[in-house]
Structure 1
Amino acid sequence: MTLHHRHAIVLAAGTGSRLGLGPKALLPWNGEVLATRAARAAALAGCSVSIAIGPGAVEVRRWLRRRSSSAVAVHVHDAALGMSASLRAAVRQLRSAGPRPDVVIVLLVDQPGVDDAVIRRLLDAHTTGRATRAAWNGVPGNPVVFDTDHLIEAADAALGDSAARVWLALHPHLVDAVECGDLSSGADVDEPSDLAAWPELG
């Protein structure tokens, strides 16, 4: 599918309270941090990028400048309300920033296995009017590609930590799953025990 403009939103405003190491956006990763790793992967896949940030915002912006990232940082003032607040803030910024992209892929900062190859596969598989969701060894998960109008609806419906899950649950007939387990791992970093799977962290 030929697209004029692909955009990526990175949700990176969490406190990382369960992990206990500060904001996950600032976890070190091979000489950078998870926030810049996600933004770089999306840019390599041909996307413009915005990144929703909360705790540690000053340091995240510093890292983005250090890596010469063109990602637009969106400060989420009500990040404590959960991922829904991050999605709403990023979508508000997108709506006010000029011409809308054709599609948007929503990325979670704590999925270090989601690289540019995964993002490209999902974007290339996307069909207008539908949502395209990564499947990891048969299990639907993140990231998810939306038409921009659908993403706006998803942001309006989001509650707490649900982000786009409410919209996806309401529209299962519009969701296509695309297997990505052959490319990488969709595991996220939530608990201290998850760190062992990623030697690059630290």
Structure 2
Amino acid sequence: MTMHHRHAIVLAAGSGTRLGLGPKALLPWNGEVLATRATRAAALAGCSVSIAIGPEASEVRRWLRRRSSSAVAVHVPDAQRGMGVSLRAAVRHLTAAPDRPDAVIVLLVDQPGVDDSVIRRLFDAHRPGRVTRAAWTGAPGNPVVFDTDHLIAAASVATGDSGARVWLSAHPRLIDDIECGDLGSGADVDEPSDLTAWPELG
């Protein structure tokens, strides 16, 4: 696949209510924030990048500019309605682009253990017509690579915080799980106690 045909969507529009520290996209990480960490990892893996942003959108954009990120920010004004809304907004933006990618990886901003090596492995393993999902020491999780047509279908049935899960659970035979536990971690930052696992946060 050429560079233009690998795209990453970073879902970063959540408010981080359970965490109580504001939007996860703006959590500090080694001198940057989780939003720029995720977009940088995707760019290093050879992807064009779009990032769905919600609360504090102008501050997220400022960080992206500060880091000279080429990621396209897609503002999701009704992001509080759940991840499904963010996924639909990002996919709508993607399908309107003149150069539509063949395959897209969906990244969650709150998985700081997913770096460019994980993204590369999933794309390298991906086969047209299949869905390629990261497994972490045997447990399926995120991120996931979709053919663009499959992602459009997944976004169309996404509700609440389900993201692509509704579509994935309806198409189990299409999924290839690729072990990534040797490269990183699939743990997410969800509760205040999760912060202690990541000394880089803060």
Structure 2 CA distance for aligned equivalents of residues 9 and 191 of structure 1: 23
1:153 partner SS: helix
Residue matched to 1:58: 58
Gaps of 5+ in 2: none
Report whether the alignment pairs 1:105 with 2:105: yes
Gaps of 5+ in 1: none
2:17 partner SS: coil
The amino acid that maps onto 1:162 is S
Structure 1 CA distance for aligned equivalents of residues 168 and 40 of structure 2: 27
Runs of 4+ with >3 A deviation: none
Output the aligned Cα RMSD. Answer: 0.7
Using structure 1 for the length normalisation, give the TM-score. 0.98
Structure 1 CA distance for aligned equivalents of residues 66 and 76 of structure 2: 21
Report whether the alignment pairs 1:156 with 2:156: yes
> How many residue pairs end up in the alignment?
201
The amino acid that maps onto 2:49 is V
Structure 2 CA distance for aligned equivalents of residues 195 and 57 of structure 1: 23
The amino acid that maps onto 1:183 is L
Structure 1 CA distance for aligned equivalents of residues 126 and 151 of structure 2: 14
Structure 2 CA distance for aligned equivalents of residues 99 and 192 of structure 1: 40
- Cα deviations across residues 38-88 of structure 1 (Å, max 9, x unaligned)? 000000000000000000100000000000000000000110110000000
1:93-172 to structure 2, matched below 5 A, reads 93-172=93-172
The amino acid that maps onto 1:148 is T
Residue matched to 1:21: 21
1:46 partner SS: coil
